[in-house]
Amino acid sequence: MMRDPGDFSQPWPQQLPAAGTRVGRAAAIIMCLIGVLLAGIALGVFLTQGSQIRVRAHVLSERCHPQTDLATGQPETRCDAQVQFTTVKGQVIRTTVTDALPYEFSGTGHFRTIALRYNSGDPTQPFKQSNYMPVDAFVVLLVFGAAAILFGGWMLHKLRPAGVSQGDDAKSSARGQR
């Protein structure tokens, strides 16, 4: 007997065909993996930045050149610069910073500086401050990652294999606890 679409006295059946269940479970697993990847990137990048030491480096020389931005396809100016800074341990580091944007430099003449960060274990490979992940990007990645994990887990929960109901799960788990 067909159910009337306006009849809300009985719930709709929750079972999908086996092929639909397999596809749904695969999509749910992929959703969970994407969520783990996004949350992992957010946590991995943001938390390692906290151990980096900020420093203002003196620009010894700079050479700017045109370069095409891969994201927009538009030409922009990038600069390579020889810089020198002193670490917190007093070590003087002289190195090269590449592909810096002109607005990352401040000051004029012999007093030009650039904000950098470095790992205390290897101060010879500093990072430009523009490579820093801002808090809002961290929060967005983390929220989308957590949402993907939760939604994928909910989908996996809802898409049980055919023939397994919530009562069957409860009975089998009760048997396992005895």
pTM: 0.50
**CB count in 10 Å sphere of residue 24:** 15
8 A C-beta contact, residue 57 and residue 84: yes
What does the pLDDT look like over 18-55, one tens digit per residue?
666 788 888 999 999 999 999 998 888 777 766 677 78
Q: Cβ neighbours of residue 176 under 8 Å, at least 6 residues apart?
A: none
**Residue 54 in tokens:** 């900020």
Q: Which residue type is seen at 7?
A: D
Radius of gyration over every alpha carbon of the chain, rounded to an integer in angstroms: 28
Separation of first and last alpha carbons in the chain: 41
- Residue 52: strand, helix, or coil: strand
CA-angle at 27, arms to 169 and 13, nearest 5°:
50
The yes-or-no verdict on residue 144 having pLDDT over 90 is yes
What does the pLDDT look like over 75-105, one tens digit per residue?
999 899 999 999 888 889 999 888 888 888 9
State how far the Cα of 62 lies from the Cα of 172, in Å rounded to an integer: 70
Mean pLDDT of 2-26: 65
State how far the Cα of 58 lies from the Cα of 116, in Å rounded to an integer: 10
Q: Cβ neighbours of residue 21 under 8 Å, at least 6 residues apart?
A: 159, 160, 161, 162
pLDDT of residue 54: 79
What does the pLDDT look like over 103-121, one tens digit per residue?
889 888 888 998 888 877 7
Higher pLDDT among residues 116 and 169, named by residue: 116
The yes-or-no verdict on residue 178 having pLDDT over 50 is no
State how far the Cα of 47 lies from the Cα of 115, in Å rounded to an integer: 19
Higher pLDDT among residues 160 and 66, named by residue: 66
